[in-house]
Structure 1
Amino acid sequence: MSATLIKDVKETFIKKFKTDPLLIFSPGRINIIGEHTDYNDGYVFPAAVNKGIAAAIHKSNTGKCTAIALDLDSTIEFELDKLKPSKEGNWENYVLGVVAEIQNRNKVIGDFNAVFKGNIPGGAGMSSSAALENSVVFGLNELFDLGLTKHEMILISQKAEHNYVGVNCGIMDQYASMFGIKDNALHLDCRTVESKPYKIDFKDHQLMLINTNVKHSLSDSAYNDRRSACESISKLLGIKALRDATEADLETIIDKVTPANYQKGLYVIQENSRTLKAAKAIEDGDLTTLGSLIYQSHEGLSNQFKVSCDELDFLVEQAKKNKNVLGARMMGGGFGGCTINLISKTEAKAFSETVAKAYKNKFNTDCSVYFIELSEGTHIVNNQL
């Protein structure tokens, strides 16, 4: 958590609204393994990280609500009984959506003011949207004594994204951001929405993210296409979701699906199995096996599920050439964003410099490198800052 972020939102809030706010920090997330398995009722392995959104929030007595996104230098004002999605479709819909979904549950909230600021890199696939939604619902729950559980809060955040933002997301991002535990990853079952925390000791290794700084326009349509392919295979198999299928089951319908869709189904079944093996590897402190599973995940995402891109594949190939990297893969929806790398601590700096140079030579654009720590989920920050 960044003390500077908290300080900035607090000072801005006091200057603007002349009162001490409630302070919330809501983290972004990474996902170690288990990509595109969440909407197949499968397993994922996310963790909250030490980058996120800081929010200062308090009641308002002006008859309206004001929300300020500090890093965007953008302000909105709205009335609680006149909520509708903003045409701009920007950050404000995450805020308005959460407020609307709280009211849909017949919870009464009053007017409030809020200031937000984040340090999650844009387009990195680290779920700044879930962090923002969670900070709003968590803050309002506290401020107006709504009595919502954390489970209810993440469903409100998810619904806000479906109904106000128009993204039919799974539950992983909101869950990881809300329930994160320091130094732990959460092995989350997306069907039961229950997780088991795994304390992770990376020993003399660490996680490093490399952002391609590209986002190919294909991403939204391809996401929906992958989702419907998975659903149609489940239907053919007569099951609720691909989580219930085995490779042998899939073979029984090989002549009823296109070869491309067969590979997509196969990828999901195998990726689900990889997350279970990853949990075991972490339990055994076996980082070599974990790294190998991470590499296999990327192979599947690139060659079977086909959601990678040249830039992501290039970064993973660079990682494979370096014996100090145990595993690397694309992380997130695909077609851009970050790779996640499990790398030796002593070699991380040298590798990041070599990769940055190679990437610039190949694509004539810069990649960005981030080091992250696994951290606590959405929480109230002590006001004594």
Structure 2
Amino acid sequence: MNQTITSRLQTEFIARFGNEPIVIASPGRINLIGEHTDYNNGFVMPAAIDKKIYCAMAKNGTSDQCTINSLSLNDSFSFKLDAIERNESTNWINYIIGVVAIIRKEHKLDAGFDILIDSDLPLGAGLSSSAALENAIAFGLNRMFKLAIPKEKLIYISQEAEHTYALVECGIMDQYSSAFGKEDHLLMLDCQSISSEDIPAIFEPYELWLLNTNVSHNLAESEYNIRRQECRAAIQLINEKFKTIDSFRDLTIEDIPNLEKILPEILFKRVSYVIEENERVVKAATALKDNDLVTFGKMLYEAHEGQQNKYEVSCRELDFLVDYSREVSEVLGSRMMGGGFGGCTINLIHKDIAESYVNDIATAYEKEFQIALTPLKVNIDKGTYILD
């Protein structure tokens, strides 16, 4: 927890609004391996991290007037509870009003409220800042209005807000890992049963570093939704020409030769990537349990190759960082993380050379792209909680 931020947030909230707020800390997440598998009912391996969005909120004495202020974005907006509409110009607003609107479908919010937001979580870096914000709002409203909504349902409220207001058809991984994260543990999450196994995050003497490309190509959200459409199209063809399935989770490595015969090339690449990525997640979990970091690192590199060449969601900047790492033996693994077309790579780097490596790769990256690289060492932390 960033005590500097929480202290400033509470002080600033009281100064602006005159009420004592509750404060919610909601973490971003990393995903060690298992990309684009969550919405295909597959396996993923996320973890909550020590970078968070913080929300202070309190009722304001009105019947329906709500005011939202973001210190980190230096932006604000207001709305009435009985006149919630999707914002067409500023998308971060939709994550908030979406959660409010969906909660109001089944629960009474009988008073207006004020929210003040701050963050040390980088935006647009593939760390699921949107899920962190959605969870913070959902958890805060749940406490403030004494709604008694179970945590298991709150994450689906957050997901629905992203689908219907931010218009991104995300799976459940981001909201789940932000809410259910456990300190010093990864979550081996089965997105079909929505259940997880805690895996100790033991990487010593290696460290987890994110390298933020600081690029976010315009393709990111549109191509994400296109990949989902391609997956649905592939399922339809498989049902028509091969066998009945509900999702790619019903397919195995042994099915790949038959799938290649019946699917167009693009759809075959998407399906075979997901099948292989699910296998990699399982192998990666076994490797971590066996403290086999070399095999785990190999899985990261193989995952990136699949994202680059089969799912086609990487970009030149991400590929450059991964290729650079292959020449350094003290880096056991690297891959792009997140939806793609920018954001971060996740890297497993020996602690003895981590800082010098980060400096060297940042220099090479800036020389290649004239863009500054932002490194971030991350630690595994607990999920969304309310400060007492």
SS of residue in 1 equivalent to 2:102: helix
1:313 to 298, 319, 323: 319
TM-score normalised according to structure 1 size: 0.96
Q: For residues 172-191 of structure 1, what are the structure 2 equivalents within 5 Å?
A: 172-191=173-192
Query: Is the 2:66–2:114 Cα contact (8 Å) retained in structure 1?
Result: yes
Give the match for residue 22 of structure 1: 22
Q: Deviations over 1:9-55 (max 9, x none)?
A: 11110101112111110000000000010111101100000111011
Within a 5 Å distance, the mapping from 1:46-85 to structure 2 comes to 46-63=46-63, 64-85=65-86
**Cα deviations across residues 66-120 of structure 1 (Å, max 9, x unaligned)?**
1111112222222111111122233221111101010112344422111001111
Report the CA distance between 1:233 and its aligned residue.
2.1
Secondary structure of the residue that 2:165 maps to in structure 1?
helix
- 1:3-152 equivalences under 5 Å are 3-63=3-63, 64-152=65-153
Assess if the C-alpha contact under 8 Å between 1:295 and 1:327 holds in 2: yes
Separation in 1, partners of 2:137, 2:107: 17
Conserved 8 A contact 2:210-2:346: yes
| Count of residue pairs the alignment pairs up | 382
Q: Which 10-residue stretch deviates more, 235-244 or 327-336? A: 235-244
- What displacement does 1:130 show? 0.6
Moved more, 100-109 or 75-84: 100-109
Offset, 1:318: 0.9
* Runs of at least 5 residues in structure 1 that lack an aligned partner in the other structure: none
SS in 2 for 1:255: helix
TM-score, scaled to structure 2: 0.96
1:283-309 CA-partner distances (Å, limit 9, x unpaired): 111111111111110011111111111
**377, 380, 386: which is aligned to 1:380?**
386
Show the counterpart of 1:280: 286
CA contact (8 A) 1:89 1:165 kept: no
CA distance in 2, matches of 1:105, 1:62: 21
1:229 CA displacement = 2.1
Q: Is 1:158 matched up with 2:164? A: no
CA separation in 2, counterparts of 1:40 and 1:249?
Answer: 16
CA distance in 1, matches of 2:299, 2:114: 46
Partner secondary structure for residue 306 of structure 2 = helix
CA RMSD of aligned residues (A): 1.2
Q: CA deviation at 1:171?
A: 0.6
SS of the residue aligned with 2:379?
coil
Residue of structure 2 in register with 1:367 after alignment? 373
Distance in 2, matches of 1:115 and 1:175, equals 24
- Matching of residue 266 in structure 1 with residue 267 in structure 2: no
Contact 1:206 1:345 in 2 (8 A): yes
Taking every aligned residue pair, what percent have the same amino acid on both sides?
45
The 3-state SS of whatever aligns with 2:86 is: coil
C-alpha offsets along residues 118-143 of structure 1, whole Å, 9 cap, x if unaligned?
Answer: 11112101011111111111011111
Q: Partner amino acid for 1:316?
A: V
Structure 2: which amino acid aligns with 1:55? C
Q: 1:221, 1:58 → 2: CA distance?
A: 36
Equivalent-residue separation in structure 2 for 1:289 and 1:253 (angstroms): 28
Q: Distance in 1 between matches of 2:46 and 2:370?
A: 32
Q: Is the 8 A contact 2:237 2:263 kept in 1?
A: no
Q: Is the partner of 1:322 in helix, strand or coil?
A: coil
CA contact (8 A) 2:168 2:225 kept: no
Distance in 2, Cα, partners of 1:29 & 1:299: 22
**1:244 counterpart (232, 245, 250):** 250
Report the Cα offset of residue 258 of structure 1: 2.0
Q: SS at 1:91's partner residue?
A: helix
Q: Structure 1 331/109 Cα, relative in aligned 2: closer, same or farther at 3 Å?
A: farther
Displacement of 1:256: 2.5
